[in-house]
Amino acid sequence: MAFKTLQTKTEATTLEAMSTRLAARRAEIGDVEVPRNSGKRRTASKRALLAEIEKLGGDW
C-alpha cells in the first residue's frame, strides 16, 4: 500500500474487473467519435513541430 494511513471505504478495483466494466459500457454506448482538436490556439513552435512531422510523412 502506498499510504499506510489511508483508509478508504471501498475495495480496490482489479484490472480484470475494470476491463469487464469498461467493455460492458462500450457495448452499451456503441462507438464514440471523438472530434480532433481544431488547433486554433497552437503556439508557433507547436505549429512548426507539426509541420516538420508532416514533411517526414507523419499523419498528425
Give per-residue pLDDT as tens, 16-57. 999 999 999 999 999 888 888 888 999 999 999 999 999 999
Q: At 33, which amino acid appears?
A: E
Element (H, E) at 52: helix 44-55
Is the whole-model pTM more than 0.85?
A: no
Q: How far are the Cα atoms of 14, 19, 42 from residue 53, in angstroms, in the given order? A: 39, 34, 15
Q: What is the Cα–Cα distance from 32 to 22, expressed in whole angstroms?
A: 13
C-alpha cell, 23: 467493455
More confident residue, 6 or 24: 24
